[in-house]
Amino acid sequence: MATLNNFDANNVDPSVALDPIPAGKYIAVITETEMKPTKTGGGKYLQLTFQVLDGEYKGRLVWARLNLENKSEMTVKIARGELSAICRAVGVMAPKDSIELHNIPLEINVGLKKRDDNGEFTNVIKGYTKKGSNGGGGAAGARVPVGVGPGGTPPWKR
């Protein structure tokens, strides 16, 4: 049994389940980062929380997980490539701590994928771009899709 300190549901709006946001491009900032152990305990991932800054979905959160420590070299390579894309999009090329990536607007390309466990759709971040980029010229303005290396070739096709 737990004391609820005179809680009265009449005075609190009920929470509602939120569907994933539609696929598209959103201006967002990283608001939280945390290194967490993987389920199997064989590695660690950096969890990043992104908050949408404007539009109909202002305030909504989207997450990315980067497996920076893993038994699979390919998994680590993909995660490091994604972290590089984030760094380029926020203009912090050599962060010593993930907090250096916080609160800098960038454009995230959000997609939808079906979850394996329950078949429901969830958001995934497919790419990161410098805010205000037109997608052309120079590394600072280049669109950097997740998991794509030099020359635009995904690591699994090299």
Segment 18-43 mean pLDDT: 95
What is the spatial distance between Cα 57 and Cα 24, in angstroms, rounded to a whole number?
Answer: 11
Could you say which architecture CATH assigns to the domain 19-152?
Beta Barrel (2.40)
Please report, for the chain, the start and end positions of each structural domain, with discontinuous segments joined by +: 19-152
pLDDT band at 42 (very low <50, low <70, confident <90, very high): confident
Give DSSP secondary structure letters for 43-102.
Answer: -EEEEEEEEE-SSTTTT-EEEEEEEEE-S-HHHHHHHHHHHHHHHHHHT-SS-SSGGGGB
What is the spatial distance between Cα 14 and Cα 134, in angstroms, rounded to a whole number?
Answer: 41
pLDDT digits (tens, 9 = 90+) for 136-149: 433 333 444 454 44
Report the chain's terminal Cα–Cα distance, integer Å: 58
Q: Which of 25-34, 57-66, 94-103, 148-157 has the lowest mean pLDDT?
A: 148-157
pLDDT of residue 70: 95
pTM: 0.77
The rounded mean pLDDT for the chain is 87
Kindly state the helix (H) or strand (E) to which residue 103 belongs, with its residue range.
Answer: none
In one letter, which amino acid is 32? E
pLDDT digits (tens, 9 = 90+) for 67-126: 999 999 999 999 999 999 999 999 999 999 999 999 999 999 999 999 999 999 999 999
